Amino acid sequence: MTAIPASAASRPDSGGASPSVPRHVAIIMDGNGRWAKKRGLPRAAGHKAGAESVRKVLKAAGEAGVQCLTLYAFSSENWRRPETEISDLMGLLRFYLKAELSALHKQGVRIKIIGDYKVFPEDIVKMLEDAMALTAGNDRLTLAVALNYGSRDEMARAARILAGQVAAGSMKADAITPEAVDNLLYTADLPPLDLLIRTSGECRLSNFLLWQAAYAEMLFVDTLWPDFGGEAFRGALDDFARRERRYGGL
Ligand code: FPP
């Protein structure tokens, strides 16, 4: 049997030779509540400390040459939390958007929101859209923030769009390839996901980037998110650099 040449470029998501620095890192920032509880503090204090970790990790990612950092800040399931906690998270989002936007812009960070963020309070939607518009031309690093995001919703949304196109006759059912689906996900313009990290010892994806994680390396660490800073992030990149990725080949 003739072997099919396994050029790196033909491997799914490889985008050429495997990079030693991941192009796209996603993080499930878990453990804020436990961090606060251990200190006898309200959960909101854990989220505030978690937001500080975001700042540190973003800096480390930029320094390392990561092209895109995607953070799971609010899932479509997080609405089940008590109203006070939801309102604390919204308050934090307002605070950080106001406080950090101009610094992020100066650092060349492009802000992108993934998920159905339009259901958020009107002032937040406006702040998010202004932040995306202001930073749209930046290319040092993309910070993709997942807000009211759910991976299965994202895939169902793509399926609905494709079904509509087929019904309208502008798309053939046979033309529904993985690439066609990929192009309709929120992440269509982001590099392939190379590394997915979850903090706090939980080992599940919780409806985050299920499609995009097909060939991503996974790293589950015990550290609670507020304790995960620049050094821990660099450790994760070192771990990634040691992984051998085969994309289904040998
Ligand atoms: C998970 O910890 C964390 C979240 C649901 C929110 C993540 C938010 C931040 C890091 C703050 C920055 C984000 C915004 C929106 C400004 P958990 O509460 O589930 O922790 P636990 O599992 O220990 O209870």
Residue 45, pLDDT > 90, answer yes
Contact 71, 26 (CB under 8 A): yes
Q: Is the CB of 50 under 6 A from ligand 1?
A: yes
Determine the atom of ligand 1 nearest the C-alpha atom of 50.
Answer: 10
The domain that holds 42 is classified in CATH as 3.40.1180.10
For CA atoms 247, 141, 61, 202, give the dihedral sign: negative
Contact 155, 181 (CB under 8 A): yes
Residue 165, pLDDT > 50, answer yes
Q: pLDDT tens digit string along 112-124?
A: 999 999 999 999 9
pLDDT band at 19 (very low <50, low <70, confident <90, very high): confident
Residue 16, pLDDT > 80, answer no
Contact 106, 136 (CB under 8 A): no
Determine the atom of ligand 1 nearest the C-alpha atom of 202.
Answer: 22
89 and 162 together in one domain? no
Q: pLDDT tens digit string along 20-40?
A: 999 999 999 999 999 999 999
207 labelled ligand-binding:
no
69 and 158 together in one domain? no
Averaged pLDDT of the chain: 93
65 and 136 together in one domain? yes
Q: Could you list the residue range(s) of the whole structural domain that residue 177 is in? A: 151-190
Q: What is the CB neighbour count within 10 angstroms for residue 77?
A: 12
Contact 227, 57 (CB under 8 A): no
Kindly report the pTM of this predicted structure.
0.92
Residue 155, pLDDT > 50, answer yes
- Closest C-alpha residue for ligand 1 atom 8: 73
Average pLDDT over residues 222-241: 98
CA distance 206 to 77: 9
Q: Tell me, in angstroms, the distance from the centre of ligand 1 to residue 187's CA.
A: 22
Note the pLDDT of residue 244.
87
Within a domain: 41:
yes
Active site residues: 30, 78
Closest CA to 220 of 32, 9, 28: 28
More confident residue, 5 or 27: 27
228 and 108 together in one domain? yes
Within a domain: 241:
no
32 and 114 together in one domain? yes
The token duo for 9 is 């470029």
170 and 63 together in one domain? no
Tell me the helices (H) and strands (E) count for the chain, helix number first: 7, 6
The token duo for 7 is 């050029």
163 and 198 together in one domain? no
169 labelled ligand-binding:
no
